A = this chain, B = another copy of it.
Amino acid sequence: LLLSGMDVPDDANAGCPGTGSANAGKTSSCAGCPGQASCASGQGPPKPDVSGVIDRLSEVKHKILVMSGKGGVGKSSVTTSLALALARDPKVQVAVLDIDLCGPSIPRMLGVEGEGVHQSADGWTPVGVRDNLCVMSIAFLLDNKNDAVVWRGPRKAAIIKQFLSDVNWGEIDYLLIDTPPGTSDEHISSVQLLMGAGSVDGAVLVTSPQEIALLDVRKEISFCRKTNLPVIGVVENMSGFSCPHCKECSALFPSTTGGAAKMCEEFGIPLLEKLPLDPRLAKCMDDGEDFFEKNSDSPLAQSLFSLASKIKEMVN
């Protein structure tokens, strides 16, 4: 029952019974819905129009979703670090699409917070971070960075479709898509469009070792299975904290249930990496600086490089 939201199209009327329902096209709330005729005829709903997405992403080799379930486990930090790690090879073109509409943090983390996007006949031009790294985010469309995006679902679905079909990425090796916490409009829309366009490598799931976070990652795995989205693997973030005073490592969020390792075993999915918490990363993210520039020898940097190599290997 609770999983059935997947078959409610993003342009459906409120009260849509779901396109798989026996009542599809026949309820009072179907009146005026663009899909009513085709639902009522039993042919199922009209497929979402993905031609724009196919055209636009034809030169993008790999599309990877970064998801988390619970917020604040460092998903955007991992996306940003992963993008910077991949872009250390100047021959590799990397792009980041930030579809966290209510809390976009990627532009600040990449040091391009105040930039704006250009719109031309050829679509939106993403913001360049360096020669081989660019980013698109709702943050670039806000007049004031403190403004809230107070949008209900259908409007969020519309902008995500626009992001996927109107951004002029050019030739890209890796497009990382940073999603908000949860399994709702942003996730349903992006996955439906990418799967409909026939090309998505899969999802990287980020968690912390706490059972409370794992609880939500299991929901994200359930979402991936329901939508046939492959799971590339899991990243356990904030696995420990090295005290800057005594250098001893402590668990910040004790893994009372065996942490991500046990969960991955249970579901038969790879645990890609365990990342320690390093306050210097949080500081770099706040300041929009490249963590690797001054800290490439740190244990966290080494783990992040290893994560990037593993993901590269798995999708190629």
A-side interface residues toward B, CB under 8 Å? 1-6, 8, 10-16, 31-33, 68-74, 76, 101-103, 105, 108-109, 138, 141-143, 145-157, 180-185, 187-188, 208, 210-213, 215-216, 218-223, 226, 241, 243-246, 248, 250-254, 256-257, 277, 279, 282-283, 285-287
Chain B residue numbers with a CB within 8 Å of A68 are 71
Rounded to whole angstroms, the CA-CA distance of A32 and B12 in the bound complex is: 12
Chain B residue numbers with a CB within 8 Å of A32 are 13, 31-33
Pairs across A and B, CB under 8 Å, 13 listed: A2-B143, A11-B14, A11-B15, A71-B73, A108-B211, A147-B222, A150-B188, A150-B226, A152-B154, A180-B181, A241-B252, A244-B250, A256-B287
Rounded to whole angstroms, the CA-CA distance of A211 and B286 in the bound complex is: 6
Nearest CB to that of A214 among chain B residues? B286
Chain B residue numbers with a CB within 8 Å of A3 are 147-150
Chain B residue numbers with a CB within 8 Å of A73 are 71-72
Most chain-B CB neighbours within 10 Å: which of A153, A254, A283, A285?
A153
Most chain-B CB neighbours within 10 Å: which of A215, A248, A252?
A215
Chain B residue numbers with a CB within 8 Å of A1 are 143
Rounded to whole angstroms, the CA-CA distance of A59 and B151 in the bound complex is: 32
Nearest CB to that of A277 among chain B residues? B252
Judging by beta carbons under 8 Å apart, are A5 and B246 in contact?
no
Nearest CB to that of A32 among chain B residues? B32
Are A148 and B286 CB-contacts (below 8 A) given A103-B216, A243-B245, A243-B248? Answer: no
Judging by beta carbons under 8 Å apart, are A257 and B241 in contact?
no
Rounded to whole angstroms, the CA-CA distance of A102 and B218 in the bound complex is: 11
Are A2 and B141 CB-contacts (below 8 A) given A184-B102, A222-B147, A254-B282? Answer: yes
Rounded to whole angstroms, the CA-CA distance of A210 and B280 in the bound complex is: 12
Chain B residue numbers with a CB within 8 Å of A283 are 254, 256
Rounded to whole angstroms, the CA-CA distance of A136 and B130 in the bound complex is: 48
Rounded to whole angstroms, the CA-CA distance of A248 and B248 in the bound complex is: 11
Rounded to whole angstroms, the CA-CA distance of A105 and B254 in the bound complex is: 16
Chain B residue numbers with a CB within 8 Å of A102 are 69, 181-184, 216, 219
Chain B residue numbers with a CB within 8 Å of A216 are 102-103, 105
Q: Which of B15, B213, B253 is in CB contact (< 8 Å) with A279?
A: B253
Nearest CB to that of A76 among chain B residues? B212
**16 more CB-based (< 8 A) A-B contacts, given A102-B216, A149-B219, A243-B250:** A1-B143, A2-B141, A2-B149, A71-B180, A101-B184, A102-B184, A103-B215, A148-B220, A148-B222, A149-B183, A153-B154, A180-B182, A211-B286, A243-B246, A244-B250, A252-B277
Rounded to whole angstroms, the CA-CA distance of A282 and B187 in the bound complex is: 28
A77, chain B: closest CB distance, angstroms: 8
Judging by beta carbons under 8 Å apart, are B226 and A253 in contact?
no
A78, chain B: closest CB distance, angstroms: 13
